[in-house]
Amino acid sequence: MTSNTKWILIPQFILLGLAFLLLPFFANAQAKTSAKASDTLNIGFVLYTKGSTPGTLYARWNYANIWSGPGIATGGPREGFAGHYHVRYFYENGDFSDEYDLVIEKTGGFYGVSWIAKGKVLAKGVGMEVENGLAVGWRRVTD
């Protein structure tokens, strides 16, 4: 071996050793992230505001103070909030999150809201009109 070859091999051994030392840290970090997702509160919030196109709502959503982003609901009524929509949600970075059939029903001064996919209700919420739109608290249906 030449003296140059020895210097090339040393950094490779150092990197390999560091990888073995750090592997438990990264595995533990991934486990903590998974645990965090499973330990979250089953509580979400969304604020729907009227879009410039009739029948369109803009959404600003949050789930368990971990995930959040914008969304858009289309196909609703020309006036009011109650009606049937198709809604698409996105994460803060712009990546697609979920899409549902959204049903908003007015009951007195409040609203019942359902998020449906493939004919199954996956989330339910209650809401009320506020100055800038419709504020809805919701939870995933697990039963």
Query: What tens digit of pLDDT does each residue of 85-99 get?
Result: 999 999 999 999 999
> What does pLDDT average to over the chain?
82
For the ranges 18-22, 61-65, 74-78, 109-113, which has the lowest average pLDDT? Answer: 18-22
Contacts of 103 (CB under 8 A, 6+ apart): 83, 84, 85, 113, 114, 116
pTM to 2 decimal places = 0.73
Q: Helices marked H in the chain — which ranges?
A: 3-38
Quick one: average pLDDT of 57-62? 98
